[in-house]
């Protein structure tokens, strides 16, 4: 197969791998209705100087210790004006906004990993796309903890495989008992 044909084939494979989950999300195969509830059940301390705390298998983990090929989640903060970022997320309820699915490709380049939006990048030396990350980002709101911005859950996979964004069951498994997700329909709304 020529390099050009290989690029076209790889481009279609990656496009399909990113498009299929988006179609499934749009078709309602996976959905967390806006107005659902995310409950933090334990104090989550953020690493010094960081605005995100990571959770996998129901435990707070350093980002460098995440197994990226299994679902992991993070709660992120946003700076509000001149307020310093809080150092912990306290137990409490958060209302969700509309969930968004993101897929992006990562290319391995020696020890450097770069997010690549040019999906069909195949080099003559046989290198190219390393993996695809599927992420579900859920905006969060709480009048008591206004800096808490989102819950994001993700995992990496082989670019040739077709997968979907993490759903509620996968996210809950990663979060364990530290954080729970209650879709709006289950709350009786």
Q: Residues 148-184: pLDDT tens digits? A: 999 999 998 877 776 788 889 999 999 999 999 999 8
Q: Are strands 129-141 and 52-56 parallel, antiparallel or unpaired?
A: unpaired
Tokens representing 19 are 């498009």
Average the pLDDT over each of 30-34, 80-84, 104-108 and give the range with the smallest value.
104-108
Q: Residues 61-97: pLDDT tens digits? A: 999 999 999 999 999 999 999 999 999 999 999 999 9
**Separation of alpha carbons 181 and 124, rounded Å:** 46
> What is the average pLDDT value for the chain, to the nearest integer?
77
Dihedral sign of CA atoms 67, 79, 171, 92 in order: positive
Tokens representing 52 are 């995100």
Q: What is the pTM of this model?
A: 0.73
Q: Residues 107-118: pLDDT tens digits? A: 444 333 333 333
Tokens representing 8 are 């076209």
Question: Structural domain boundaries of the chain?
Answer: 3-187
């Amino acid at each position: 197969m020529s390099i050009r044909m290989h690029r076209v084939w790889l481009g279609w494979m990656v496009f399909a791998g990113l498009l299929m989950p988006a179609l499934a999300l749009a078709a309602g195969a996976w959905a967390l209705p806006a107005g659902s509830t995310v409950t933090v059940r334990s104090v989550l301390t953020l690493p010094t100087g960081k605005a995100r705390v990571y959770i996998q298998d129901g435990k707070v983990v350093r980002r460098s210790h995440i197994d990226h090929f299994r679902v992991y989640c993070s709660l992120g903060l946003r700076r509000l004006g001149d307020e310093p970022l809080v150092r912990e997320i306290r137990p409490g309820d958060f209302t969700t906004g509309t969930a968004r699915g993101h897929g992006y490709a990562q290319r391995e380049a020696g020890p450097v990993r770069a997010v690549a939006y040019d999906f069909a990048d195949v080099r003559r030396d046989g290198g190219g796309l390393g993996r695809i990350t599927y992420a579900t980002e859920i905006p969060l709101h709480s009048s008591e903890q206004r800096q808490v911005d989102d819950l994001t859950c993700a995992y990496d996979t082989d670019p040739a495989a077709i997968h979907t964004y993490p759903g509620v069951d996968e996210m809950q498994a990663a979060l364990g008992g530290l954080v729970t997700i209650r879709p709006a329909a289950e709350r009786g709304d």
